[in-house]
Amino acid sequence: MTSIKGSARQAAETPETPENDATPDASGKLSLAAILEIFAGGRLPLRFTAYDGSSAGPPDAALGLELKTPRGTTYLATGRGDLGLARAYIAGDLEIHGVHPGDPYELLKALADELVFKLPPPRTMAHVIRSIGLERLRPIAPPPQEVPPRWRRVAEGIRHSKSRDAEAIHHHYDVSNTFYEWVLGPSMTYTCACYPRPDASLDEAQENKYRLVFEKLRLEPGDRLLDVGCGWGGMVRYAARRGVRATGVTLSAEQTAWAQQAIAAEGLSDLAEVRYGDYRDIAETGFDAVSSIGLLEHIGVRNYASYFRFLQSRLRSGGLLLNHCITRPDNRSEPAAHGFIDRYVFPDGELTGSGRIITEAQDVGLEVLHEENLRPHYALTLRDWCANLVEHWDEAVAEVGLPTAKVWGLYMAGSRLAFESGGIQLHQVLAVRPDERGGTGELPLRPWWTP
């Protein structure tokens, strides 16, 4: 999820001028709306109303925020970055107006594009603190949907140990298969689609993504494919329908059960298999190809070398590896996620740039053949997932509860913004395992797949 542009950590102080010092009420305290206007420099792109009766922003604005409780003020005042906003919203202390909770994209876009917070000068800041009250500045328990901070997750094991990875996957993927069916649609594919045309349907785009991966890996009937982090088995079933012997592995028990049932229903059990477990427990070797679609985000950057080394060891000489994952637009940023994403969506998730990924793959002896960025496609994918959530909102709320449904709408709409702006990207990297002499088999001289 994107953060509001110009966070307090980054903003410069506002000059101490009379127009920045809002008029207090009879008690000498500033209203909540006045406080917000101070931080926003008087330029609110939406309507804000609060439980103290105050309001700010254009009266006729199509979009709005309503702060309903003092607890919401505490969440906003004590949560760093986007975490306070998320806590207040998920707990029901902050309501949004003008957008559907399953797709708050337009509201988030207005905040990201137009709202720039600035620190007031010290005297005004002291007045703000007195007006809010010290009791509102003491942290309180977050909503139950939030996982503990990273330093408190040691009870689940060392970061990216098998036990802790299993718990992180369980938090995100074992929500409800029924819920995922409503959001993801018939393909049950929770990774970036590849749109052959701007007006293509989500299902058509997901089928096209599997086609692209299949062709890049040069799979033929009788070949063996290993798909790590296989989700609900979409790639496994796509390959098996074309005569490939495909093995998938996932750490999600619910995904495993759904995939195994789907394989049986399609009559693919003689070619397709999905196992519940860690990819590091796959003992077989000699695969013709390995696909990793949306797994690297959960691996941890410090584990990239062992990850690529293990996948290389599962391949035959001349075998192909395709790694498909979310990336950062540079190779310098800290990889660990923080705030809303880490505490509500992807615990322990880490992203880095495509350059770091290519470097790590090359350093274990893989030869990188091709890479491409599908960033615009992920923005379209998230748009369509949000549309599905809106369409099935009542059923989704009944299935997983209102707070969890709100988490998903917020996360997907915010992620769409991040992909549109280039804050995050999606890269596919294709590599081959050379033989002991550096040979790569009889690969064509130029890319052999249809874009």
- Does residue 4 carry a pLDDT above 80? no
Range 70-92 burial, b when 16+ CB lie within 10 A, else e: bbbbbbbbbbebbbbbbbbbbbe
User: How large a percentage of the chain has pLDDT more than 90?
Assistant: 79
- Does residue 423 carry a pLDDT above 60? yes
Domains of the chain by residue range? 18-137, 162-432
pLDDT digits (tens, 9 = 90+) for 185-214: 999 999 999 999 999 999 999 999 999 999
- Does residue 156 carry a pLDDT above 80? no
Q: What is the mean pLDDT of residues 263-292?
A: 97
> pLDDT at position 148, please?
83
Half-sphere exposure of 115 (CA within 13 A, CB side): 23
pTM over 0.85: yes
- Distance in angstroms (rounded) separating the CA atoms of residues 128 and 122: 10
Mean pLDDT of the chain: 90
**CATH code of domain 162-432:** 3.40.50.150
Q: Which two tokens stand for residue 51?
A: 């439980």
> pLDDT at position 310, please?
98
Residues 6 or more apart whose CB falls under 8 angstroms from that of 209 comprise 189, 191, 192, 193, 194
pLDDT digits (tens, 9 = 90+) for 429-443: 999 999 999 999 889
pLDDT digits (tens, 9 = 90+) for 34-47: 999 999 887 899 99
